[in-house]
Structure 1
Amino acid sequence: MKRREFFKKGTTAAIAAGSVPMIFTSCASTNNIVYDKPKDKWYHLGTGKTGTPNRKPVKNYDVAVIGGGAAGICAAVAAARNGSKIVIIQDRPVLGGNASSEIRVHLNGVNNIKGKAERETGIIEEILLHNRFENEQESFPVFDHVMYDFVVREPNLTLMLNTQAVEAVMEGNKIKSALCWQATTEKMFTINAPIFIDCSGDGLLAATAGAEYRTGREGKAEFNETFAPDEPDGWQMGATLLMSSKDMGKPMTYSPPSYAIKYTHEGASKRRKFAGFQDGIWWIEVGSDDDIIADAEENRHKLMGYLHGVWDYIKNSGKFPEAKNLALDWVGSIPGRRESRRFIGDYIVSERDMTEHKHFEDAVAFGGWSLDEHNPGGIENISEPPSYFHYHFKEVYQFPFRSLYSKNVSNLMFAGRNVSQTHIALSSSRIMATCALQGQAVGTAAAICNKRNMLPREVGQKHIKELQEQLLRDDVFIPKRPANDPLDLARKSSLIFASTSSSGDAKNLLNGMSRDIDGKINHWQSDGLSANVQIEWEAPVSLSKVELKCDSNVKRNIMMRKDSRNDELFNNGVPEEMLKALSIQGRVNGSWVDLGKIEQNRTRLIKFNFNPLKVTAVKVNMTETYGAENAKLFEIRCYT
């Protein structure tokens, strides 16, 4: 494929709405593009010199991640932690995507499967736990800064905000560079990398690279999907605009703005409910049967009108006396999008893969949100339910690596709602925490690509076990896939035992399953505190790392909610089961030596790193949790 001339497409150029300005004055040639600035007459009073600003930096990285939502953050952090030099490019001033303060969607995951949660672990759990420690007040604007802190503290990672990747420069079937416009600095960056990951949702970079994609709904026949329409069509689930209100303690009047669209609820489906309306209504939604990206600004204006029309109905119809003292406190201006491009990989995940729980040898993530397909038309089709909720899962399903890289652009991967799947499959896997698991998978795969000088397809074909084992080590759960890392010296131990036990067995800590699942116990739990677990080898082994997985109660969701729920399913604080204080010792020449101590642990995956030494035993001493009477562990690993 020949290198494209940037913006030669003229008025058909695919520039997403947001921070990217109109940056050409003519489509005739690149000489008139604003970042070239040949006519810029800059006179600098401080130096007394005239010149042209040089705002075309070139940067080189091992991996370029496009998009700073949950998927992009997890991809970038995973790749950085596994040794790659990363840039993450986000087109907004904040991270988080739909979960940011600009949109304020709950960062949902596998919340409730027939009464039991199967919450995601790994990097996405770290983010949510970090938020529980740093944002006890549950503020969305503060959550923006929590995510910012989480990203910028990684030493191998560079963050570029207010920046959009607008064009791929190709070399054969590979992306050589991404041209990225940073609106706040008037810079056009050229980002070079051997591996690109598009987690942007709409996938502009991937589209300009020529990656194959589709939009709309597949017909029943193509994948034998029960819930697909009889014939394919162009419908894509719509975007939603949210708001929140505040009780002012006195009656508050409301007058709708000029652009409000009158709403009456006449003829509306009974499933269009107003429960929790004070925190926003998710079915104020507009979709598209054509080009949902091109329609974005028109739909945004409609959504603002519909939102105020619905609020006018709530405040002034007389049917909601409980809204008497409420006033709008925040109104979104950026709709949260559910669907647009879906790129084609070596495999397209479909409805039956999920509902029949297909086993994939290359499984790297999981999901379990219901098949939650919103109706065509959204609020413009109020006689229909806002979502059909076709199917509720009884257990989680697997997601394969083959659906996370491009079929025809060899160094391009995806994570999020733009991965290789059908419209019906998307109705489940689009949930942000599921997207985050995909992100951690492709970020980890990208590091393997760099380490082995290969492309994603080859990782999937030749090194999938290496990828899976690293994900499992980094606390990602893969259904039906126990860990069996050949480098883990704990698995070669001769004995493991605990000081006390109230449930489970210390031997479970070596069985490769890091959560209780499918009715099976895979933990050890102490009988009170303090307590310890000891692991022994027949001959001395050289160690420099000990890694533990403690209990953070994956049966309760820890995402931030507007209603701050704290019940059997949701936890609005730090999980009381999680270990807070612990230490480890190694037995060297018959004597115990201190190897590490943590007094304020904040993660489920706990790592101790120390100088290499030969030991015949390791002891984990647990002294305090965040409130639970007993300590619980799921795994111990030891490495040289």
Structure 2
Amino acid sequence: MLLLNSGCGTKNKNSFESDIIIYGGTSAAITAAVQAKKMGKSVLVVSPDFHLGGLSSGGLGFTDTGDKSVIGGLAREFYHRIYLHYQKEDSWKWQKKEEYGNIGQGTPAIDGDERTMWIFEPHAAEQVFEDFIREYDIQVYRGEWLDRENGVSKSNGTIISIKTLSGKAFKGKMFIDATYEGDLMAAAGVSYHVGRESNDTYGEKWNGVQFGVFQHGHYFRDSISPFVIPGDPTSGLLPEISEEPIAPNGTADSKLQAYNFRMCLSKHPDNRLPFPKPENYDPSRYELLARVYASGWDETFDKFDPIPNLKTDTNNHGPFSTDYIGKNYAYPEASYEERKAIIKDHEDYQMGLMYFLANDPKVPEKVRQRISEYGLAKDEFIDNGHWPHQIYVRESRRMIGDYVMTEHDVLGDKTVPNPIGMGSYHLDSHNVQRLIGPNGYVQNEGDIGVKPKEPYSISYGTILPKKQECENLLVPVCVSSSHTAFGSIRMEPVFMILGQSSATAAVLAIDAKIAVQDLDYEKLKHRLKEDAQVMLLSERLK
């Protein structure tokens, strides 16, 4: 393995060198950078994003904690700092602290005993990430996009440097791809998968097509016609419905679970803005939702989850909601410009949906009246029209690496080798398709929710490429896992955990002058335990 000279330096104004180069601005990227600095290495963060923290600062404030007792290390430090933020009186501008309901996802929002807080506003999370950057003196290059065609220089299975579209070059001994898309991983020639594997691939039960499996409430419970004129196939399909035939259950495809934006809405009259009407607004796009309302459905506000200061983390809920089903399939492999168009399409759809809910006479009056109590929060995402700066990339590329996590690992049917952290959330896939069922009515497909009986370990091999493909890259977000296993792993606390573990491995591999695949696991485990990472059930926190 080729190792470079140590130290962080600059050869010219567009050439930068560091022990570790981290590509991405997600929560995993920041925890990785902090860990590298804590272990005495130089590190550069090369981020396409200007705002740091990914979804954790991009609207997902109602944290998918799962079992919080297995969240340790820097991830727990993040939630401790959130706790400290909300201990300050001036952090409660729009609501008194004692009026906040303290409701979290299966846990109190504010845990006084553990001095952690799991529910928060976007700007509070972003400030914690910025504090990390400032306190550890981490250099971040923002708005730097990897040249995906010619930007990765490799020699003998080792990345030497990466180049961004602005012409900057970043040279390092170790590289970490902490993006939601896995662009560095892909450009480095590492194997990956997009879409759902068949159940036969890994002997799973919940992979592939899952038509007629309803494990959440996000399906059509009544007989809703998919046609423009109800019951008349010759009139054509309503918008947002696919005409593709249904494949047998368990069949592989290249489709993805739906994306959306986790909106931060405000209920305070002095801190809310009316939902804007998109320039290309077309109410016919939401006719299917109108028919759902006409059938008697009444769950509009079930995922307007409360966060501090009379705000919400508003997520998808029901058969027709903020998830833009079937419109993200091209995203992982799309060019930057194509991705920008896909994101804009998602934004127009979701903004239009909120305008429809607030204004259209086909929406029940009681829904319109209540939705008028909400609006975009004036004090969030102020440089982006108060709209989240991060789309929820629930799944993109997934590496095929040294060890592939499957639902057997998550559900506890096998022992996971060489653990570096833990997960606990259920196998969670949002809907993948909206199509016509065998009965001639519209139905969603792909929504899965299977709960593990207990938290599970995540293997070191899941963040490692195959050695013959790359020896100095770690991938803590687009990890090596099946579609179903990724549905559990893909939570923000876990990404922070894996970010820290990836940096720990990178530092130890640099010190030993070896490939990351050759690292002595016992040394890695020892350091992770020193840094309060939880890797086994026996180590779980209170």
CA drift at 1:211: 1.2
CA distance change for structure 1 residues 378 and 466 in 2, over 3 Å: closer, same or farther? farther
CA distance in 2, matches of 1:457, 1:201: 23
CA drift at 1:385: 5.9
Count of aligned residue pairs for this structure pair:
416
Q: Please tell me the residue identity of whatever aligns with 1:213.
A: Y
CA distance change for structure 1 residues 454 and 205 in 2, over 3 Å: closer, same or farther? same
1:444 equivalent among 504, 507, 512: 504
What is the aligned partner in structure 2 of residue 238 from structure 1?
258
CA distance in 2, matches of 1:358, 1:107: 31
Alignment of 1:199-348 (within 5 A): 199-229=178-208, 230-247=250-267, 249=269, 256-262=277-283, 263-264=286-287, 265-266=289-290, 268=292, 273-277=300-304, 279-282=313-316, 283-286=321-324, 287=326, 288-294=328-334, 296-316=339-359, 317=363, 318-320=365-367, 321-329=369-377, 330-332=386-388, 334-348=390-404
CA distance change for structure 1 residues 362 and 319 in 2, over 3 Å: closer, same or farther? same
CA distance in 1, matches of 2:193, 2:133: 32
CA drift at 1:174: 1.1
Aligned to 2:69, the other structure's residue is in SS state: coil
Q: 1:423 and 2:444 equivalent?
A: no
Q: 1:179 and 2:163 equivalent?
A: yes
What is the aligned partner in structure 2 of residue 134 from structure 1?
85
CA distance change for structure 1 residues 392 and 385 in 2, over 3 Å: closer, same or farther? farther
Q: 1:95 and 2:52 equivalent?
A: yes
Identity %: 21
Q: 1:432 and 2:414 equivalent?
A: no
CA distance in 2, matches of 1:212, 1:404: 12
Q: Please tell me the residue identity of whatever aligns with 2:255.
A: W
Q: Please tell me the residue identity of whatever aligns with 2:350.
A: L
Alignment of 1:386-425 (within 5 A): 388-407=447-466, 408-416=469-477, 418-425=478-485
CA drift at 1:255: 6.7
CA distance in 2, matches of 1:470, 1:341: 29
8 A Cα contact 1:344 1:406, kept in partner: yes
Q: Please tell me the residue identity of whatever aligns with 2:258.
A: G
8 A Cα contact 1:358 1:397, kept in partner: no
- The one-character-per-residue Cα deviations of 1:127-147 (angstroms, maximum 9, x if unpaired) are 221232235535422432221
Q: Name the TM-score, length of structure 2 as normaliser.
A: 0.70
CA distance in 1, matches of 2:182, 2:141: 17
- The one-character-per-residue Cα deviations of 1:369-408 (angstroms, maximum 9, x if unpaired) are 1111111137999954687343112310111001111111
Supply the RMSD in Å over aligned alpha carbons: 3.0
What is the aligned partner in structure 2 of residue 478 from structure 1?
535
CA distance change for structure 1 residues 202 and 292 in 2, over 3 Å: closer, same or farther? closer
Q: Which has the higher strand share?
A: 1
What is the aligned partner in structure 2 of residue 82 from structure 1?
39
CA distance change for structure 1 residues 280 and 260 in 2, over 3 Å: closer, same or farther? farther
CA distance in 2, matches of 1:275, 1:374: 16
CA distance in 1, matches of 2:274, 2:480: 48
Alignment of 1:396-545 (within 5 A): 396-407=455-466, 408-416=469-477, 418-459=478-519, 463-480=520-537, 513=539, 515-516=541-542
- Dislocated runs of 4+, deviation >6 Å: 250-255, 269-272, 378-382
Q: Name the TM-score, length of structure 1 as normaliser.
A: 0.60
What is the aligned partner in structure 1 of residue 171 from structure 2?
192
8 A Cα contact 2:332 2:397, kept in partner: no
Q: Please tell me the residue identity of whatever aligns with 1:257.
A: P
CA distance change for structure 1 residues 255 and 68 in 2, over 3 Å: closer, same or farther? closer
Q: Which runs of no fewer than 5 residues in structure 2 stay unpaired?
A: 1-10, 92-119, 209-249, 305-311, 378-385
CA distance in 2, matches of 1:126, 1:331: 28
CA distance in 2, matches of 1:252, 1:297: 25
What is the aligned partner in structure 2 of residue 491 from structure 1?
none
CA distance in 2, matches of 1:458, 1:255: 54
CA distance change for structure 1 residues 159 and 289 in 2, over 3 Å: closer, same or farther? closer
CA distance in 2, matches of 1:170, 1:252: 50
Q: Please tell me the residue identity of whatever aligns with 1:306.
A: Y
Q: Which has the higher contact order (CA 8 A, sep 6+)?
A: 2
CA distance in 1, matches of 2:29, 2:273: 41
Q: Which runs of no fewer than 5 residues in structure 1 stay unpaired?
A: 1-53, 182-186, 482-512, 517-640
The structure whose Rg is larger is: 1
CA distance in 2, matches of 1:130, 1:465: 30
Q: Which has the higher helix share?
A: 2
